[in-house]
Chain A
Amino acid sequence: MIKVEGITKLYPEDKSKTKWKETNKIRGIKEVTFQVNKGEVFGFLGPNGAGKTTMIRHLMGFIKPDAGFAQIKGLDCWQNSLAVKAIVSYLPGEMNFLEQMSGLEFLNLMSGMHGDRPIYQKRRDVLSERLDLNLKQPIKKMSKGMKQKLGIIYALMLDSEVLILDEPTSGLDPLMQKVFVDLVLEEKCQGKTIFISSHMFPEVERTCDRVGIIRDGKLAAVEDIQKLRQAQHRTFEITVEDEGQVQLLREHGLAIVAVKGTGLSVEVQGDLNPLLSGLAQVNVKEFSQKTTELEEAFMHFYEGEGCF
């Protein structure tokens, strides 16, 4: 459904330099190639400034590539941008609307620009109820989270075949993040193709089938989320009653990476049962899981393969 082949867009390294310069740390994206199949949810991950938004601008036909091409449903995103936009819904990363309008006026404007089909209104009402957003409120009085909800309603009300979502949960509280994940999974069930750009691993983990990671403008890897999840290293912070119990856990064969008094960090890859059986023998006072950063997860996955 989405095909990106060798797409390159480089920007001048420094505004003071007039020549286009290519270095190891590029601005823009270089020779990015990947595909997203019909009905698939694809996560496009990377730290801020890695080139995620530049990639999306190509998919939306906002910028012309220096080399390569991007296609959606066989249509070139730059040359046939109008036809592409007729089948695509887009949620921009920056929530900057036409501030003087109310949420409802904005959605009516966008609905009109998309051909004003009756289904838009029906979906808009359902979505605004699920996301708990008062559409009559003026946009300039909305918080960041409310604006994000409005953007999500806009993107999902169009019932498009392809959804391109740039940092969709940014600014949403945990409850609304869960509602968003449910909405994405529902769209997926309807056969929609979804491209999500993000730097947050949990939201991608819960929604995506495959993920691509971009670093410094280059696509470092594209992997199946199941494979990543199985290989994912998880770190647990545990506090036990005394140092003897720390020794007991060590003898149990757990990968203890750090010990500080009665506190220890245990790293687990894949199966959790050895950890649980070890903990059953001691008196656990505190237990928490350390959040795995996105890059950390990928670095563990590709450790030894020389990808990073």
Chain B
Amino acid sequence: MLLNQTLFYAMLKQQGKKAINYATGLSFYNLLLIGVYPTISQSMVATELAMNLPNSVKRVFGVSSASELNRFESYVSTQCFGRVWLLVMGIYSISTADALITKLVDHGAMAYLLSSPVGRQEVFVTQVSVLVSGLTLLMGLTVLGIWGEMMLFNIPIDVWSYFRLGILGFALFSAVGAYSLFFSVLFDVEEYTILSASSLTFLCYALDVCSDLNDRFSWVKKLTIFGWVRPQEVLDGEVPTIPTLGLFGLSTIFIVLAGYIFSKKDIHV
């Protein structure tokens, strides 16, 4: 049940371009954020604004608090790995999982792949490898971009913390990609796949935001995959072994389930 090399390279050629485009966009966004950091950290107005907002509002909208503005790791964790990053990575994971299975079934192109003497499981493993490779490329380029930008602006950082955060982020979006892939094999229509995967992602994200609003709801963050990822704590030196393994475990479960369904289901192409 190895991957099919010809299909892998053909699909990677298509999806790799998308990953590079997303990574380029994120890098420019991060370049902008990191570029303005020295100005913002010394700005009295920004500090005052951050101090006057209620904590819950700051958490929901990803506004850095006064103390966060003074420390680069805090600033990066709330800005570079904040809402925009989650949104972009989420869209990439869901749309790629959809493009690799449901879209091909819905549009009929899967008929060609399945008409070859390459087994369904081999096709599925290949598509999973494309998704994982794309995520690796995207995460790698994002972390590399941030590192390069910090070098450019002469900001000293602990490289290994960023590396660990990169792996944790990869694990998080592997999980998003894995359950999106699960929906992708479950449905034959693109709309259903996108709707299900986006709804689940939004629900997980909303639960994470709720858990931040009030200490009484802090237990909720254990129920959502976004609650397992705390960029600032990782950048402050915490080694996120358990969340990383948990997210990889969850990804494996969804991928195995999706692979089983794909190998057994009727495919109307």
Q: Which residues of A contact B (CB under 8 A)?
A: 57, 60-64, 82-83, 85-86, 88-90, 92, 94-98, 100-101, 105-106, 108-110, 112-116, 154
Contacts and interface: CB of A to CB of B under 8 A. Distances in A.
Contact of B109 (A83, A97, A113): A97
Contact of B117 (A57, A109, A115, A154): A115
Contact of A60 (B107, B109, B115): B115
A113 B107 contact: no
A113 B6 contact: yes
Given A57-B268, A64-B266, A115-B117, A90 B111 contact: yes
B113 interface: yes
Q: Lowest 10 A-B CB distances belong to which pairs?
A: A112-B6, A96-B108, A113-B116, A63-B266, A90-B115, A94-B108, A86-B117, A92-B111, A85-B117, A96-B107
A149 to B, nearest CB: 15
A89 to B, nearest CB: 8
Contact of A92 (B14, B115, B117, B267): B115
A97 B4 CA distance: 18
A156 to B, nearest CB: 13
Interface in B72-121: 104, 107-109, 111-119
14 contacts: A60-B115, A62-B266, A82-B119, A92-B108, A92-B111, A96-B108, A98-B104, A98-B109, A106-B112, A112-B5, A113-B118, A114-B116, A114-B117, A116-B6
B111 A113 contact: no
Contacts of A96: 107-109, 111
Interface in B242-267: 266-267
Nearest to A57: B268
A86 B7 CA distance: 17
A62 B117 contact: no
Contacts of A62: 111, 114, 266-269
Contacts of B117: 82-83, 85-86, 113-115
Contacts of A100: 14
B86 to A, nearest CB: 28
Contacts of A64: 266
A72 to B, nearest CB: 13
B10 A98 contact: yes
Contacts of A154: 112
Given A85-B117, A96-B109, A98-B14, 7 more contacts: A57-B266, A62-B267, A62-B268, A98-B10, A110-B116, A115-B117, A154-B112
A113 B7 contact: yes
Contact of A63 (B6, B7, B115, B268): B268
Interface centre among A57, A97, A98 (most CB of B within 10 A): A98
B115 A109 contact: no
Contacts of B10: 98, 101, 105, 109
Contacts of A108: 6
A92 B269 contact: yes
Interface centre among B4, B114, B116, B118 (most CB of A within 10 A): B116
B7 A109 contact: yes
A109 B123 CA distance: 13
A98 B7 CA distance: 11
Interface centre among B5, B111, B267 (most CB of A within 10 A): B111
A113 B113 contact: yes
Contacts of A98: 10, 14, 104, 109, 112
Contacts of A83: 117
Contacts of A82: 117, 119
A304 B225 CA distance: 70
A57 B269 CA distance: 8
Given A94-B108, A97-B109, A60 B114 contact: yes
Contacts of B269: 57, 62, 92, 94
Nearest to A83: B117
Nearest to B267: A62
B135 to A, nearest CB: 20
Given A92-B111, A96-B109, A109 B6 contact: yes
A7 to B, nearest CB: 14
Nearest to B111: A92
Interface centre among A83, A89, A90, A113 (most CB of B within 10 A): A113
A60 B104 CA distance: 17
Interface string B104-144: 10011101111111110000000000000000000000000
